[in-house]
Amino acid sequence: MSYDPAGDLKLLDAMLASLDGYLRGSDLYGATAPNLPRMTLGSLRFTLHRLEALPGLLSTAQQSQVQAARQEYERICNAWRVHYEEKLTREKHARLRDLRNFVEELRQNPRRGADYLGLELRHRSVLEHVRADARDLKLWDQEEETELNQRDQQLRSYLNTNISEFQWDADLAPAYPPEVFWWLHHPPAQR
């Protein structure tokens, strides 16, 4: 099965339509549309990143749609800068906590934790976008960097780092270079 950007475009449109209210609201995980995943700033950036990083998979019209989406995202986030920074800060704490809980679950029960590994690798990828945006705004400190490095070391011990094999659809690989998204390039270790 190869990647079809139409699903990401639909999700991105729904997220952008909800972004203004989401930023001003109190929920960390916002509603988008029926039958679509809930939204966070990180998940929006994750979706936007995929589309921007894979222009060769998009039609000219879709590329224009992505460019317009980027502009709209930046316009809304700048208009609600304080709300944006508060929501981003909440998300970074939540995602770091979730990663900490996941690697602890892997440690306590590797088989059960491995059942969720695919989803957690996606969550780690979303966290990478949160981290990048928080760094740009100087909202990511050394303590958080240290914690993330510790969690990554724990996560690494559950992956077979001797094998380099992209874990998602091969069409997506150019969007996730191993220098940044190393966890997507190694299969689970046999336990």
52 lies in a domain? yes
The reply to whether the predicted model has a pTM over 0.85 is yes
Specify if 179 maps to a domain.
yes
The tens-digit pLDDT sequence of the chain (191 residues) is: 588 899 999 999 999 999 999 999 999 999 988 888 899 999 999 999 999 999 999 999 999 999 999 999 999 999 999 999 999 999 999 999 999 999 999 889 888 777 888 899 999 999 999 999 999 999 999 999 999 999 999 999 999 999 999 999 999 999 999 999 999 999 988 75
Q: Which two tokens stand for residue 7?
A: 């699903």
Is residue 51 one of the residues assigned to a domain?
yes
Q: Give residue 91's domain range.
A: 5-185
Q: Which long-range contacts (CB under 8 A, 24 or more apart) does 23-30 make?
A: 23/76, 23/77, 23/80, 23/83, 23/84, 23/87, 24/80, 24/83, 28/87, 28/90, 28/91, 28/94
Q: Is residue 190 part of a domain?
A: no
**Considering its fold, how many domains does the chain have in total?**
1
Cβ pair 188, 120 in contact under 8 A? no
120, part of any domain: yes
Neighbours of 120 (CB within 10 A): 22
